[in-house]
């Protein structure tokens, strides 16, 4: 039985998220594992996002809000929350996604029972208003550093990291693919990240999502290989071909 004596820090960036962030926060509040802190850093929203979040601050002291001085991107917002995190574990949820109520419990349970330091889970895929249910993404049993170079199955929605063992790390300031770069940095410290087959989250696929358009995002993947991972041109070309192939397979069936 898990004793709730270890604090889990939840990292959330927000930007003009008033339409969805209530559902996200409620899915955190409903977690069966209750020893958590939710650190939301707002990236200078121009809608009512901050007002929505402030309503929760009055109700739940586990929720904390930080506001950036200028619009700086999701990576900077996440890093600000990571800097202020006090937990033993680090996990992430964006301001339009949802968790199953057992996400935190199942993740920490897998870590503690197996001495794992990095886990992630499968997730459901829905459209913006949940009127369409796409196929679930089922996580592989485990992935290594080289596996993630080829294709990243670790969603920012379900990554769960024991920072007592692996330390607190920050996302590199790439315009996109910061999350994959962070997972790669952790996979230099541990051999594998381990997947949970049961879907424990809901990923909202939005029309403007850059991750759905491989032609637009390919330059950011190239920057990940060359600038973040310092791979040679030849290695980068090989991995980007594999990444495009697996990315097509990942989304072609939804």
pLDDT digits (tens, 9 = 90+) for 91-143: 999 999 999 999 999 999 999 999 999 999 999 999 888 888 889 999 999 99
The CA distance from 12 to 240, in Å, is 29
Which residues of the chain carry a pLDDT beneath 50?
210-211
Q: Are 154 and 148 in contact (CB under 8 A)?
A: yes
**Nearest to 122, CA basis, from 109, 107, 105:** 107
> Domain residue spans in the chain?
8-208
In this predicted structure, what is the pLDDT of residue 248?
72
Positive or negative: CA dihedral 68, 44, 152, 201: positive
In this predicted structure, what is the pLDDT of residue 213?
56
In this predicted structure, what is the pLDDT of residue 253?
57
Q: Are 204 and 126 in contact (CB under 8 A)?
A: yes
**Nearest to 111, CA basis, from 81, 144, 137, 88:** 88
In this predicted structure, what is the pLDDT of residue 210?
40
In this predicted structure, what is the pLDDT of residue 214?
58
In this predicted structure, what is the pLDDT of residue 189?
96
Distance of CA 135 to the CA centre of its chain: 19
Positive or negative: CA dihedral 18, 25, 60, 65: negative
Q: Does domain 8-208 have CATH number 3.30.750.24?
A: no
Q: Are 178 and 211 in contact (CB under 8 A)?
A: no
In this predicted structure, what is the pLDDT of residue 205?
86
Neighbours of 207 (CB within 10 A): 7
In this predicted structure, what is the pLDDT of residue 130?
83
């Amino acid at each position: 039985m898990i004793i709730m004596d270890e604090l889990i820090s939840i990292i959330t960036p927000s930007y003009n998220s008033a339409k969805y962030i209530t559902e996200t926060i409620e899915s955190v509040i409903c977690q069966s594992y209750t020893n958590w802190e939710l650190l939301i850093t707002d990236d200078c929203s121009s809608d009512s996002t901050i007002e929505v979040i402030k309503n929760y601050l009055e109700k739940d002291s586990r929720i904390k809000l930080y506001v950036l001085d200028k619009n700086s991107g999701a990576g900077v917002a996440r890093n600000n929350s990571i800097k202020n995190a006090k937990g033993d574990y680090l996990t992430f949820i964006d301001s339009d996604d949802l968790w199953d109520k057992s996400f935190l419990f199942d993740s920490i349970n897998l870590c503690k029972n197996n001495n794992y330091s990095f886990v992630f889970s499968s997730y459901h895929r829905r459209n913006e208003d949940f009127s369409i249910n796409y196929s679930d993404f089922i996580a592989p049993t485990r992935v290594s550093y080289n596996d993630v170079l080829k294709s990243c199955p670790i969603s920012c929605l379900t990554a769960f990291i024991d920072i007592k063992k692996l330390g607190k790390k920050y996302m590199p300031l790439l315009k996109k693919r910061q999350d994959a770069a962070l997972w790669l940095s952790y996979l230099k410290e541990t051999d594998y990240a381990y997947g949970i087959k049961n879907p424990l989250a809901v990923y909202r696929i939005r029309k403007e999502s850059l991750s759905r358009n491989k032609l637009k995002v390919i330059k950011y993947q190239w920057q990940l290989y060359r600038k973040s991972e310092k791979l040679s041109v030849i290695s980068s070309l090989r991995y980007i071909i594999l990444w495009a192939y697996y990315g097509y397979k990942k989304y072609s069936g939804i």
